[in-house]
Amino acid sequence: MKINKEGYKIIFITGIICLLIWGFIYHLLNNREDVGVMWLSAIVLVMFWFFIVSFFREPRRVKIHDADLVFAPCDGRVVVTELVTDDEYFGNREVMQISIFMSITNVHMNWFPVGGIVKYFKYHPGRFLVAWHPKSSTENERTTTVVETEKGHEILFRQIAGVVARRIVSYMKVGNAVKQNDVCGFIKFGSRIDLLIPKESELLVEIGDPVVGTQTPLARLK
């Protein structure tokens, strides 16, 4: 299993903390007959550490390229499909919003849903509301990225921090040429991504659908 570079530090620190906790428990119970408690605590701490390691797993997936499709930029479940107006980039123009919620058990790598040129990028400091809260799209810590495709479609997507996710990593730079389904960032521990696409696009998913990053087409551009 390959581990994403964003997890190295957290995995190392978590391992040290687990060792210290077990050392304290061992010292506390060393002169007693609670051997079972020591073994149980060791198993629980090891399982917790492996959970942290697995959270930063980097899956190997076949890259699919289709300029007419918008692919899922992350693993998770669709929680919003609706027409909205956006005043950050689209000047209150009506667009289609697709939101995907990532639980702490999902792979948290993020990929470009389309290929093209990065036209806009901005980091927004903010709050840490639960990621499925409607106001998380505008009030939580987040990044906003817009990629213009070869056919002139502008696709906006936001990495949104949640109540647990408090560290967004983005590899975006305005002017960069990016390929569809290449890695674009990482969100640590539970979060959400919003996509804003042209409203005339053909929607290919519904609320509640599970999606797999780089593999599940969300919409067809027209």
Using DSSP bridges, classify how beta strands 191-198 and 109-111 pair: parallel, antiparallel or unpaired.
unpaired
Judge if 86 and 42 occupy the same domain: no
Judge if 20 and 122 occupy the same domain: no
Alpha-carbon torsion (52, 55, 59, 63), positive or negative: negative
CATH number of domain containing 103: 2.70.70.10
Residue 82's domain comprises: 69-220
Predicted confidence at residue 177, as pLDDT, reads: 93
Judge if 49 and 73 occupy the same domain: no
Q: Please check whether residue 63 lies inside any domain of the structure.
A: no
Judge if 151 and 126 occupy the same domain: yes
Judge if 96 and 174 occupy the same domain: yes
- Told to judge if 191 belongs to the known catalytic residues of this protein, a careful annotator would answer yes
202-207, Cβ contacts within 8 angstroms, sequence gap of 24 or more: 203/81, 203/96, 203/98, 205/78, 205/81, 205/98, 206/78, 206/81, 207/78, 207/79, 207/80, 207/81
Predicted confidence at residue 165, as pLDDT, reads: 45
CA distance 126 to 111: 23
Judge if 176 and 78 occupy the same domain: yes
Judge if 163 and 73 occupy the same domain: yes
CA distance 61 to 121: 26
Predicted confidence at residue 124, as pLDDT, reads: 83
Predicted confidence at residue 33, as pLDDT, reads: 62
Q: Please check whether residue 60 lies inside any domain of the structure.
A: no
Q: Please check whether residue 64 lies inside any domain of the structure.
A: no
Judge if 132 and 87 occupy the same domain: yes
Is 184 in contact with 156 (CB distance < 8 Å)? no
Predicted confidence at residue 39, as pLDDT, reads: 78
pTM: 0.76
Residues of the chain with pLDDT under 50: 131-132, 136, 164-165
Strands, DSSP E only, in 38-141? 69-71, 76-86, 93-102, 109-111, 116-124
Judge if 41 and 87 occupy the same domain: no
Q: Please check whether residue 125 lies inside any domain of the structure.
A: yes
Predicted confidence at residue 129, as pLDDT, reads: 55
| Beta-ladder partners of 194 | 99, 158
Judge if 31 and 107 occupy the same domain: no
Q: How many domains does the chain have?
A: 2
Judge if 102 and 204 occupy the same domain: yes
State the catalytic residue, choosing from 136, 137, 191, 201. Answer: 191
Two structure tokens written together for 20: 């210290």
Which residues are CB-contacts of 38 (< 8 A; sequence separation ≥ 6)? 25, 26, 29
Judge if 41 and 117 occupy the same domain: no
Predicted confidence at residue 126, as pLDDT, reads: 60
Q: How far, rounded to the nearest angstrom, does the alpha carbon of residue 35 sit from its chain's CA centroid? A: 41
